[in-house]
Structure 1
Amino acid sequence: MKYCAFLRGVNVKGTNMKMAEVCQVFKDAGMNDVASILASGNIVFSSDKKADELKKILEKAMSDHFSYEAYLFIKTQEEIESFWNGNPFGKDENLHSYTFVGNDGVEKVLMQEFENAAKADDEDAKIVNNIFYWQVPKGNTLDSTFGKILGKKSLKDQFTSRNINTFEKILKKF
């Protein structure tokens, strides 16, 4: 089966790694057809194992190799298609759209945080098919109230986010 692993916290705040080295860790852990998409920690691969088993194997391999606490979210090709196809926001040159990959139920936690946050004009969030989507004016991603909430340590093992365009690139790689 084909999968994509979304790594949390890669190449931010001092956790720097080369994607070629990450791919080698995946290969050494028994994954096949391994390739990276962008430098933000998106690794496509194939395996006969189930996603929950892969999560344990790959988090341990990444943690051991890079000496950090690795968090990965493993999704199937079908799930990736759902992320892409469910995007409720149209393309807009002035806005970024993000999709959140995470544990079951995290979309409700994120929506609660979003509803409690101060918002910029044109900032919006929606849940579609249990997937949380966020749209924010370009240049406001890290400065927005909600953007700052996303860095909370209490949430780091719950989700990671990607620009919606990343999902299109992943699907093309499949």
Structure 2
Amino acid sequence: MTAYVALLRAVNVGGTGKLPMTTLAQICKTAGLRKVKTYIASGNVVFESDRSEDEVRTTLMDQLQAHAGKRVGVIVRTASELAETLARNPFPDMPAHRVMTLFVDGTVPTDPLEGATGIRNEQVRYGKRELFVFYPDGMAATRLRIPCEKQGTARNMNTVAKLSEMAAALTSSGSL
């Protein structure tokens, strides 16, 4: 059994993609996922499954489309990969709420800033399947637009840390 974290794209952000977390949990359970727990209202869920990452993503996307009537982007990471992402944070001394991890499917584009607009004082660093972005003035003040945002979803390091903790608890204790 593998512990996973699923991150939904554009859920409960800016008044779009309304999805109560109780509904998300039920969708996950209906999809056969076990030990399902959601975290805050932005589409974060941890669970266990014996399926592959691709199978989990496809199943969740299909279930969410059936529920919402439209495609919902889903990024899936194993508990260990999320922990590694947290450990690779290139901005460990910066306020965690100002460092975002932009999770993308597959590999990060060769030049993720190609076509980017609105760059000011933000700092961007590569990860494996993510980008790390430090927003010194906060995300509310930024004009930065990165093209690969359209294929991914971002979470601040506080959220990444909490999800990593929750997913690790699944693997270590067998339950949350």
2:137 alignment counterpart: 138
Contact 2:104/2:129, CA 8 A, preserved across alignment: no
Q: Does 1:2 align with 2:17?
A: no
Distance (whole Å) between structure 1 residues aligned to residue 20 and residue 99 of structure 2: 26
1:7-46 matches, cutoff 5 A: 7-12=8-13, 13-46=15-48
Distance 1:32 1:93, change over 3 A: closer
- Runs of 5+ in structure 2 lacking a partner? 168-176
Cα displacement (A) at 1:164: 1.3
- Structure 1: how far apart are the matches of 2:97 and 2:123? 10
Q: Within 5 A, what are the aligned runs for 1:1-174?
A: 1-12=2-13, 13-93=15-95, 96-113=98-115, 116-121=116-121, 123-139=122-138, 141-146=139-144, 149-150=145-146, 156=150, 158-174=151-167
Deviation at residue 134 of structure 1 after TM alignment: 0.4
> 1:81-107: CA deviations, max 9, x gaps?
111000001333497100011112235
What runs of 5+ residues in structure 1 fail to find an aligned partner? none
Q: Give the TM-score normalised by structure 1.
A: 0.84
2:101 and 2:157 in contact (8 A); partners too: yes
Report the Cα distance in structure 2 between the residues aligned to 1:28 and 1:66, rounded to whole angstroms. Answer: 15
Query: Could you tell me how far apart the structure 1 residues matched to 2:111 and 2:39 are?
Result: 28
Q: Which runs of 4+ in 1 moved over 4 A?
A: none
Q: Deviation digits for residues 20-65 of structure 1, max 9, x if unmatched?
A: 1100000011000000011111110000000001111110001101
- Hey, what's the Cα distance between the residues in 1 that align with 2:96 and 2:83? 25
Q: Deviations over 1:96-136 (max 9, x none)?
A: 100011112235353334xx434333x10111345310001
Question: What is the rounded CA distance, in whole Å, between the counterparts of 2:113 and 2:80 in structure 1?
Answer: 24
Give CA-to-partner distance per residue, 1:123-166, whole Å, 9 cap, x none: 10111345310001234x244332xx25x6x853x211111111
Taking the aligned partners of 1:112 and 1:136, their CA distance within structure 2 comes to 19
The two structures have a TM-score, normalised by structure 2, of 0.83
CA RMSD, aligned part only? 2.2
Q: Which deviates further from its counterpart, 12-21 or 99-108?
A: 99-108
> CA 1:163/1:49 → structure 2, altered by over 3 Å: closer, same or farther?
same
Percent of pairs with identical residues: 26
**Count of aligned pairs:** 165
Residue 11 of structure 2 aligns to which amino acid in structure 1?
V
Find the aligned partners of 1:108 and 1:46 in 2 and give their Cα distance.
32
